[in-house]
Amino acid sequence: MHETMHEKTHKIARFNITKDLANLIDSTIEQTGKNPTIILTGIATNIATFLRAFPTYTAKIDKVFWLGGALNVPGNVFTVSNDSRAEYNIYLDCVAARKLIASDLDITLVPLDFTNQLPLSPGVFDKLSKLKSFYGKFVYKLLSIIRKVKPTFFATYYLWDSITIAIAKDIGVAKIVSNHSLTVTCKGDQIYDRQFIKSKTLLNSNFKAAIDAIVSKPIENSPFYQDFLNVIDCD
């Protein structure tokens, strides 16, 4: 019997980021005999919340690949007045970002420095338009909508999440540069930023952590694009 969309949505809504994630990690280890890898393509709020509740579970997680940060390039936060180096996934919850970076997890950061070097080119977009699978047509339709409203589409649009997944798959997309320094600065407004009111000790503080970061140029003739097309060209 197939679940209805309402049932699926209700199940997702009932997911407990602490207890249920711990159970998921345990069941993954039991079924595969391996510690799971986490691919994080958004803010670190959920995983930071999990680590506060289950700090010992860092030993049960193999690696974390995180799409976030801007090391030596401008950031991408443009909707509010901010430091031009800010990147959304860290900016939106920098307290959680510091919690994640300060953990003893094996983290590979995928910053804007790297994703900026893999734009969605006209050639790849043309190949995407010719895919016959449901997913291929769906992705092409979504990107076509963005292209219509974004004049600089081919110069400024990147497949951020897909790049991060490709790096986690270790298909030769990038070289890893170890122990690169990342600074996370948290500054809160006591009127608007509730999370900072609850964590006053974190106001206006700096933290540096040595983590793995992909900052080298992509390997020539990157296999990323073809892998991306192959993945979505199936039903």
Is residue 175's pLDDT more than 60? Answer: yes
Whether residue 127 lies inside any domain: the answer is no
Give me the sign of the Cα torsion angle 142, 137, 161, 44: positive
Whether residue 132 lies inside any domain: the answer is no
Whether residue 46 lies inside any domain: the answer is yes
**What integer pLDDT is reported at residue 186 of this predicted model?**
72
Q: Do the beta carbons of residue 88 and residue 82 sit within 8 Å?
A: no
The number of folded domains in the chain is: 1
**What integer pLDDT is reported at residue 9 of this predicted model?**
44
In 3-state terms, what secondary structure has residue 109? strand
What is the CB neighbour count within 10 angstroms for residue 163?
A: 24
Whether residue 85 lies inside any domain: the answer is yes
Give the predicted TM-score (pTM) of the model: 0.83
pLDDT above 70 coverage of the chain, percent: 81
User: Which domain covers residue 165, as residue numbers?
Assistant: 5-118+158-232
Which of 79-83, 123-127, 199-203 is the least confident region? 199-203
Is residue 210's pLDDT more than 70? Answer: no
Q: CATH no. for residue 98?
A: 3.90.245.10
Q: Do the beta carbons of residue 40 and residue 101 sit within 8 Å?
A: no
**What integer pLDDT is reported at residue 233 of this predicted model?**
95
- Average pLDDT estimate for 17-23: 84
Whether residue 143 lies inside any domain: the answer is no
**What integer pLDDT is reported at residue 192 of this predicted model?**
44
**What integer pLDDT is reported at residue 218 of this predicted model?**
79
**pLDDT tens-place string over residues 33-74:** 999 999 999 999 999 999 988 999 999 999 999 999 888 888
- Average pLDDT estimate for 190-217: 52
The two structure tokens encoding residue 195: 């999370």
How far is the C-alpha of 85 from the C-alpha of 2, rounded, in Å?
47
**What integer pLDDT is reported at residue 215 of this predicted model?**
77
Whether residue 22 lies inside any domain: the answer is yes
How far is the C-alpha of 194 from the C-alpha of 3, rounded, in Å?
38
Give Dmax over CA atoms of the chain in angstroms: 54
- Side chain identity, residue 43: I
Whether residue 51 lies inside any domain: the answer is yes
- Average pLDDT estimate for 143-156: 95
**What integer pLDDT is reported at residue 14 of this predicted model?**
66
**What integer pLDDT is reported at residue 197 of this predicted model?**
37
- Average pLDDT estimate for 19-27: 90
**pLDDT tens-place string over residues 99-148:** 898 888 999 999 998 999 888 999 999 999 999 999 999 999 999 999 99
Start-to-end CA distance of the chain, whole Å, equals: 21
Whether residue 49 lies inside any domain: the answer is yes
**What integer pLDDT is reported at residue 8 of this predicted model?**
45
